[in-house]
Amino acid sequence: MDFFHVLVVLLESTIRVSVPLVFAALAGLFTERAGVFDIGLEGKMLGAAFAAGAAAAVTQSVWIGLIAAILISVALSLVHGYASITQRGNQIVSGVAINFIVAGSTVILGEAWFRQGGRTPALAEGARFQTISFPDADMIREVPLLGPIYADLLSGHFLLTYLAFAMVPISWWILYRTRFGLRLRAVGENPGAVDTAGISVIWLRYRAVICCGILCGFAGAYLSLAMTAGFVKGMTAGKGYIALAALIFAKWRPKNVMFACLLFGFLDALAIRLQGTPLPLIGQVPVQFMQALPYILTVILLAGFIGKAIPPKAGGVPYVKER
Amino acid sequence: MDDIAIELHGIDKSFGLVHANKDINLKVRKGTIHGIIGENGAGKSTLMSILYGFYQADSGEILVDGKPVAIRDPNTAISVGIGMVHQHFMLVENFTVLENVMLGAEDSQVLNKGIAKARTELKRLENEYALEVNPDALIEELPVGLQQRVEILKALYRKADILILDEPTGVLTPAEADHLFRILGQLKSQGKTIIFITHKLREIMAITDEVSVMRRGEMVATRNTRETSVEELAELMVGRRVLLRVDKGEASPGDVKLAVQGLTVKDSRGVTMVDDVSFEVRSGEIVGIAGVAGNGQSELLEAIAGIRKATAGTVLLNGKSVDVMGHRDPAELRARGLAHVPEDRHHVGLVLKFEESENAILGYHHDPRYLNGVFLNIDAIRKDAEEKIAKYDIRPPNARLKTANFSGGNQQKIVLAREMERDPDVLIIGQPTRGVDVGAIEFIHKRIIEMRDQGKAVLLVSVELDEIRSLSDRILVMFAGRVVGERSPDATEGELGLLMAGVEGRKEAAE
Amino acid sequence: MSTPYAKLPGWVEYGLIPLINLAVAFLVAGLVVLLVGENPLEAAYHLINGAFGRGEYIGFTLYYATTFIFTGLAVAVAFHAGLFNIGGEGQAYVGGIGVALACLWLDQTMPWYVVFPLAILGSVFFGALWAFLPGWLQAKRGSHIVITTIMFNFIASSLMVYLLTRVLKPLGSMAPQTRTFAEGGQLPKLDWLLSIFGLDVGTAPFNISFLLALVAAFGVWALIWRTRLGYEMRTMGHSPSAARYAGIRESRITVITMMISGGLAGMMALNPIMGEQFRMQLDFVQGAGFVGIAVALMGRSHPGGIIPAAILFGVLYQGGAEIAFEMPSISRDMIVIIQGLVILFAGALENMFRPAIARAFAMRGQRAAAVVQTRGA
């Protein structure tokens, strides 16, 4: 039973760390399926986390914090969109630039406004998200097997956690069951087909980029309004890149994105859990290896050794009408 | 009865210095198949892209059903009933047929209802026009002929009354092309108007009611198809040009330098581009390959030059075989005496951002003359370039100028100087004078003859029939990937034209 | 349309436009300074003063510049072959292993001039190794080099933490770093160089790896513009189809270019490890690999542009410290912002002002333009 308990705890923390990954990877899914590569997920998430922390601290409202997160993240997305769609600049370079600008300005502005060493003030209860307990969770916890699953694994998360996992089928539905999704996927594969069908390639790509901004906003807000009570400098700590890896690992498909994020989240949770504990048969696994595993797996996948990740055909290429 | 579906008045369009369409006037009658024929680069595709709203004309007027319309984008074109089947299909390869057909005409924000409707409509269109295709098949899994059918369905689904087909048979097998013609006939009988763009005379004669001929951006004539002939159209297409007479003596062919046997090339989609081609080129002769662009000449040239893999066949260079199917090193072929002037000098033959002198060694940069160990011998390279500049009268005579800043003719001379001055045994040349000013043409032609007289074996590919006729000692005509006949340069333009159009060639090949 | 933008004179292309892009980046940075309620001009004063005000400051500026020359060259070399090596950070980090091994092995028995060449070889070897894999994966397996190099940065980071906490750390020490090197592992300072100009280097770790960086810059120039390999790299970078025509093998050039790029990034490790800290610490690269992207973009991938760009970033890093000291609300993170803005305006938005400038030139110098455009028949 002890093993079972450990497993529930482990899965519970897997869910907790996977949430920002799910949001960010879905964000990347929207732009990349539309043909705009985005390595700026990290920066957008960080900017959103800061905006959320700062706005919530000032207004004492978690909702204003969330809205601020989304606004900042969308604004950053539009900068990326302007550079890569309108100006036809290099999408990688633009993404790198945004990551730096945000990494620097969140600290500078945070320090200037709050003077707490790059943090935003710790948020009071009303200014951050609270966990939601399912009905009778405490009572049901005592039921063997199902009890802990219900009370600890399913219940007791933040609203944003449920939203993140709800966003997986919603994103799927948007991409595969709506007109917008059909066009978005088409523009990432063959913008010429979209253009000749009488649809504006540019506006479509901008809309995809805005979707990305909104989702990164949720990811950032989760970090500073739910996972911790306030913004801490550099708090994304590479999550944007892990999300990018998860997106590739998922071969740009919504359902796979969720499993990839859960897998990478699980590795993260496991790494923390296993610190110093030897595994049977293998012995002690260095925690650094566990941390590197998502990246190693992604490289192996990219190299085509386990299946083949085929990116959207028009990805990374600005659209120019051919003569 | 004489209803006009489309009327163009004074359409004019330039891309930078290229005047693609000059004051074009055109009338297309309702319920007919109207052919537009012309050589590559005559401006056909540009004109149709303007009609479809993909480009804006600089001036001119478009009337649809007698009413002037401003076609600003494909959307407007679609709304006035114009549909287009592009030369390069505008399909999303990993989408289903249904999704492709719906794209841009989905009806509602949520697809469900639209899908059901599209499915029924597609079924109806399939039945009405005999255009069967599985709506749930992925495009990438369909053969090219069916992909094209999807393009047609896309246009019909948008209720197009006027259908533009841009070089639709370029990617089709003869059987698929015949099937397409039957479909077009069906569409016509249902009252649709079809504009059919091609450079193939045979197709014009086979299916059109009227035909307009374009030449160098101008609309030169419109004929009733029944009242014209292949000969007349060929002449209109090519125009009565000043025959470029080149002084050349009799050829005195020597040993076989280049022998091609059963060479077959398929493109990445598996379509056969070069089909079992065999010929020989001897020292001291120029063999010209005539043919309408897109009949496999380019691929043939590239396969011989080692930048494209062949799927079968052998090539003998100076009597020794060349591994045409495996990996070949163009550098090694150069060392064995093959020089190659590629068709596309902008992307293949030159690096436009390089200095002139740097391009003068492209492909020969392993030559010890240009090197000091692993270093480039800049002085030797520049000196060598300057000699070539002087000898080939390249202007401006500046070896350090960026290649992009030279005119087309001078760029071509840079390539020719590089390839000819290596004293090769075999010289293969693609489109020696494409985009080259008149002054340079004469110079280039003279140099090619000189090469022959020095005993080189020259293989020449050009879409300019005049050029082929005035330079070659023997002419091979390619059609649909095959060599369909050999003629002497004294053959008439009409005779060659029929071969190029695949009319005579079929009989000959069958015999 | 092969050239979407009109041709401009060389000094506009390589001088004016980068300067305008840079100016805009600084203008926006100035706005950030305003936003935090400080005076941008005062910040600029402290920046300049902090970077050049004393011999010691100059020493620091050039110390930072040394690092950025290496990483900038690394990015530039790859750019010339049409490759975007975003993994300089990881390659520099792993390159540190080579430096540390050479020093740990010989620092107590050999003088620095014996250890230094070995450390160079070690840094190049490990840096190149870390770039070889992404290069090989692109050449042979078609994996996109940008993504793999990002992944390799993180893998490098984990690997180095492991090595520094488990393998290279001396017994009994808690800090994740190697032992401090004896004299053989410490590079001499270039105090004499500054004293020529009457400056005192003070405590600044300005050391002879600066000269190595200049040699590397010259080497890169020679490689790119004066060797056959460089010629092949440029051909591939400009036109893969022309490279194929010329018999240049894409996979071979990709792998070699990446290894050279990684080797240059690896050499960066010499400067902080042997020149400043005399030990290998956790995170000694400090983002220099990414600064290299900004430096290469600003320097237009030419060593002649990379050196001034690297010095500019040296000024930012050193002068930025001074700003942080004098104006507490502006920490050194300001540099990161400026760096990002430079990458944005000199990289992704490099063409934003070009149409306007081209129009201005077209109007101003129509006659002059006519002469330039005259082409011989």
Tens digit of each residue's pLDDT (9 = 90 or more) over A267-281: 888 887 777 677 666
Tell me the pLDDT of chain A averaged across its residues: 90
**Pairing state between β A157-158 and A131-132:** antiparallel
> Among residues 163-192 of chain C, which lie with CB inside 8 Å of chain A?
165-166
Looking at chain C, which residue has its C-alpha nearest residue B438? C377
Tens digit of each residue's pLDDT (9 = 90 or more) over B412-456: 999 999 999 989 999 999 999 887 776 788 889 999 999 999 999
**The predicted structure's pLDDT at residue B360:** 94
Does C349 contact chain A (CB < 8 Å)? yes
Q: Is A12 exposed, middle or buried (0-12, 13-18, 19+ CB in 10 A)?
A: middle
Does the beta-carbon distance from B103 to A180 stay under 8 Å?
Answer: no
Q: Which candidate in C149, C154, C159 is best for mutational testing of the A interface (most A CBs within 10 A)?
A: C154
Does the beta-carbon distance from A195 to B54 stay under 8 Å?
Answer: yes
With 90 as the cut, is the pLDDT of residue C92 above it? Answer: yes
Other Cβ atoms less than 10 A from the Cβ of C171: the count is 5
Strand order from edge to edge, sheet including B67-69: B18-29, B4-15, B59-64, B67-69
Query: Which residue is associated with the tokens 């001036």?
Result: B59
Residues 6 or more apart whose CB falls under 8 angstroms from that of B390 comprise B397
Does A182 contact chain B (CB < 8 Å)? yes
CA angle (B163 as vertex; B160, B169 as ends), nearest 5 = 140
Q: Are B117 and A217 in contact (CB under 8 A)?
A: no
Separation in Å, CA of B395 to nearest CA in chain C: 5
pLDDT band at residue B39, thresholds of 50, 70 and 90?
confident
> Among residues 117-146 of chain A, which lie with CB inside 8 Å of chain C?
118
Please tell me what DSSP assigns to residue C268: T
Does C247 contact chain B (CB < 8 Å)? yes
Three-state DSSP string of C64-130: HHHHHHHHHHHHHHHHHCCCCCCCHHHHHHHHHHHHHHHHHHHCCCCCHHHHHHHHHHHHHHHHHHH
Chain C CB contacts of A109 under 8 Å are 32, 35-36
Looking at chain A, which residue has its C-alpha nearest residue C339? A100
Tens digit of each residue's pLDDT (9 = 90 or more) over A82-92: 999 999 998 98
**The predicted structure's pLDDT at residue B390:** 94
In the complex, which subunits touch A with 3 or more CB pairs below 8 angstroms?
Answer: B, C
Q: Which of C84, C141, C341 lies closest to A304 in CB terms?
A: C141
Does the beta-carbon distance from B15 to A323 stay under 8 Å?
Answer: yes
Tell me the pLDDT of chain C averaged across its residues: 90
The topology (CATH level 3) of A2-302 is ABC transporter involved in vitamin B12 uptake, BtuC (1.10.3470)
The tokens for A237 are 């700590």
Q: Report how far apart the first and last C-alpha atoms of chain A are (Å, whole number).
A: 69
Q: Which of C1, C36, C329 lies closest to A323 in CB terms?
A: C1
Q: Which of B52, B75, B111 lies closest to A182 in CB terms?
A: B111
Does B342 contact chain C (CB < 8 Å)? yes
Q: Are B101 and B92 in contact (CB under 8 A)?
A: no
pLDDT band at residue C3, thresholds of 50, 70 and 90?
very low
CATH at residue C236: 1.10.3470
Query: Torsion over CA of A32, A34, A38 and A41, rounded to 10 degrees?
Result: -80
Tens digit of each residue's pLDDT (9 = 90 or more) over C224-279: 999 999 999 999 999 999 999 999 999 999 999 999 999 999 999 999 999 999 99
How many independent structural domains does chain C possess?
1
ipTM over 0.95: no
pLDDT band at residue B2, thresholds of 50, 70 and 90?
low
Question: Considering the entire predicted model, what is its pTM?
Answer: 0.86
Does C2 contact chain A (CB < 8 Å)? no
Q: Residue A24 carries which side chain, given as an amino acid letter?
A: A
Please tell me what DSSP assigns to residue A309: -
Looking at chain B, which residue has its C-alpha nearest residue A322? B54
Does A97 contact chain B (CB < 8 Å)? no
Three-state DSSP string of B135-186: CCCEHHHCCHHHHHHHHHHHHHHCCCCEEEEECCCCCCCHHHHHHHHHHHHH
Domain spans of chain A, in order of start: 2-302
In the complex, which subunits touch B with 3 or more CB pairs below 8 angstroms?
Answer: A, C
Tens digit of each residue's pLDDT (9 = 90 or more) over A5-30: 888 888 999 999 999 999 999 999 99
Tens digit of each residue's pLDDT (9 = 90 or more) over C33-50: 998 888 999 999 999 999
Tell me the pLDDT of chain B averaged across its residues: 88
Please tell me what DSSP assigns to residue C326: H
Does C286 contact chain A (CB < 8 Å)? no
With 90 as the cut, is the pLDDT of residue B409 above it? Answer: no
Tens digit of each residue's pLDDT (9 = 90 or more) over C208-237: 999 999 999 999 999 999 999 999 999 999
Q: Are A235 and A223 in contact (CB under 8 A)?
A: yes
Does B369 contact chain C (CB < 8 Å)? no
- From residue A210, give the alpha-carbon distance in Å to each of A28, A80, B102: 11, 10, 24
Q: Which of A96, A98, A244 lies closest to C293 in CB terms?
A: A96
Q: What is the DSSP string of B231-296?
A: HHHHHHHH--PPP-----------SEEEEEEEEEEE-TTS-EEEEEEEEEEETTEEEEEE--TTSS
Does the beta-carbon distance from A99 to C340 stay under 8 Å?
Answer: yes
Does the beta-carbon distance from B351 to C242 stay under 8 Å?
Answer: yes
Alpha-carbon distance B378 to B369, whole Å?
10
Residues 6 or more apart whose CB falls under 8 angstroms from that of B120 comprise none
Q: Which candidate in C143, C329, C342 is best for mutational testing of the A interface (most A CBs within 10 A)?
A: C143
Separation in Å, CA of B86 to nearest CA in chain A: 9
Does the beta-carbon distance from A197 to B74 stay under 8 Å?
Answer: yes
Tell me, yes or no, whether C213 lies in a domain: yes
Looking at chain B, which residue has its C-alpha nearest residue C242? B348
Tens digit of each residue's pLDDT (9 = 90 or more) over C285-337: 999 999 999 999 989 899 999 999 999 999 999 998 888 889 887 888 888 99
**The predicted structure's pLDDT at residue A322:** 62
> Among residues 281-320 of chain A, which lie with CB inside 8 Å of chain B?
313
As a whole-number percent, the residues of chain A with pLDDT over 70 amount to: 96
Q: Which residues pair with B11 in a beta bridge?
A: B24
Q: Which of C86, C155, C329 lies closest to A292 in CB terms?
A: C155
Alpha-carbon distance B49 to B62, whole Å?
13
Q: What is the DSSP string of A38-69?
A: -S-HHHHHHHHHHHHHHHHHHH--HHHHHHHH
pLDDT top residue among B329 and C1: B329
**Pairing state between β B320-322 and A131-132:** unpaired
Does the beta-carbon distance from B92 to A321 stay under 8 Å?
Answer: no
Looking at chain A, which residue has its C-alpha nearest residue B101? A197
Does A104 contact chain C (CB < 8 Å)? yes
Helix (H) or strand (E) holding A307: none
Alpha-carbon distance A33 to A247, whole Å?
11
pLDDT top residue among B174 and B203: B203
Burial code of C249-277, b = ≥16 C-beta within 10 A, e = fewer?
A: bbeebbbbbbbbbbbbbbbbbbbbbbbbb
Mutual angle of helices C209-226 and C228-238, in 10-degree steps: 70
Mutual angle of helices C303-326 and C40-52, in 10-degree steps: 110
Counted across chains A and B, CB pairs separated by less than 8 A come out at 74
Residues 6 or more apart whose CB falls under 8 angstroms from that of B82 comprise B6, B51, B52, B64, B71, B160, B161, B162, B164
Q: What is the DSSP string of A207-234?
A: HHHHHHHHHHHHHHHIIIIIISSS--TT
**The predicted structure's pLDDT at residue A276:** 66
- From residue B453, give the alpha-carbon distance in Å to each of B250, B254, B424, B440, B447: 9, 11, 13, 20, 10
Q: Which of A91, A104, A248 lies closest to C340 in CB terms?
A: A104
Does B104 contact chain A (CB < 8 Å)? yes
| H helix runs in B34-110, sequence order | 44-51, 74-79, 97-102
As a whole-number percent, the residues of chain C with pLDDT over 90 amount to: 68
Does B380 contact chain C (CB < 8 Å)? no
Residues 6 or more apart whose CB falls under 8 angstroms from that of B337 comprise B317, B318, B424, B425, B426
Structural domain range at position C216:
60-312
Tens digit of each residue's pLDDT (9 = 90 or more) over B464-510: 788 898 899 999 999 889 999 999 988 887 788 778 877 754 445 44
Report, in angstroms and rounded to the nearest whole number, the Rg of chain B calculated over CA atoms: 25
**Pairing state between β B162-166 and B193-198:** parallel
Length of chain B equals 511
Residues 6 or more apart whose CB falls under 8 angstroms from that of A317 comprise A35
Q: Is B175 exposed, middle or buried (0-12, 13-18, 19+ CB in 10 A)?
A: exposed
Side-chain half-sphere CA neighbours of C204 within 13 A: 31
Does B366 contact chain C (CB < 8 Å)? yes
Does C327 contact chain A (CB < 8 Å)? no
- From residue B140, give the alpha-carbon distance in Å to each of A293, A310, C349: 35, 14, 36
Tell me, yes or no, whether C299 lies in a domain: yes
Alpha-carbon distance A225 to A121, whole Å?
11
Question: What structural domains and CATH numbers belong to chain B?
Answer: 4-238 (3.40.50.300), 258-510 (3.40.50.300)
Q: Are A270 and A7 in contact (CB under 8 A)?
A: no
